[in-house]
Amino acid sequence: MLRDKDNDRIGLFESIRNITSGLHKFVYKQLTEQISTENADIIVKYVQYQKTEINLSDTYKLLVITSLITFKRYFKNKNFSQFTRSDIINYLDSFRKSEDDDPTHKWIGIYNLRRQLFLKFFKWLHDPTGSKKRQIPEVMLDIPKLKRKEQSIYKPDDCGTHLFI
């Protein structure tokens, strides 16, 4: 029995090494040392699923993995299946900033990005069969996408004023 657990753990570490190849070494370390093996296994399976559905770039893969790890650590490694809608809202609200701290409302972009990542993840988690038309799970139901207050986050000074002759 103990050998089966050891083999499962070795297999998980090999899977983690596989999905984190090309990424910073700290990502492998976070998945193997900072979250439970059950949660790491779910993240690995999700990334493997994403790799078969879309051609994951290393940047997007890093974003997905680190977002899920950060989310897990925020709730002290709570199991993914135990999350409630209020947990998700609580986490997303942690990105909110005051007008003084963020006058251009960049936090809204982070909020919306994480919301979208979690929507895809929890849809998969609640229906991993591979269906393209997954239902929105209760944990993500009615969590709105926020609208930016600015038309653009860029200022006129951000555009290049160089003239090439």
Walking along the chain (165 residues) 10 residues at a time, the average pLDDT comes out as 61 92 91 90 93 87 94 90 94 91 87 95 88 86 84 60 55
**Burial of 46 by CB count in 10 Å (0-12 exposed, 13-18 middle, 19+ buried)?**
buried
What pLDDT does 137 receive? 92
Closest alpha carbon to 72 in 22, 109, 125: 125
7 vs 11: CA distance, rounded Å: 6
Residue at 91: amino acid letter: Y
**Predicted TM-score of the model (pTM):** 0.82
What pLDDT does 28 receive? 93
Whole-Å CA distances, 27 to 2, 22, 110: 27, 10, 20
What pLDDT does 102 receive? 83
DSSP codes joined into one string, 87-146 = HHHHHHHTT---TTT-TT-THHHHHHHHHHHHHHHHHHHH-TT--SSPPPPGGGTT-PPP
Per-residue model confidence as pLDDT tens digits over 14-54: 999 999 998 989 999 999 988 888 999 999 999 999 988 88
The answer to whether 43 and 70 are in contact (CB under 8 A) is: no
Segments making up each domain of the chain, as ranges? 1-77, 83-146
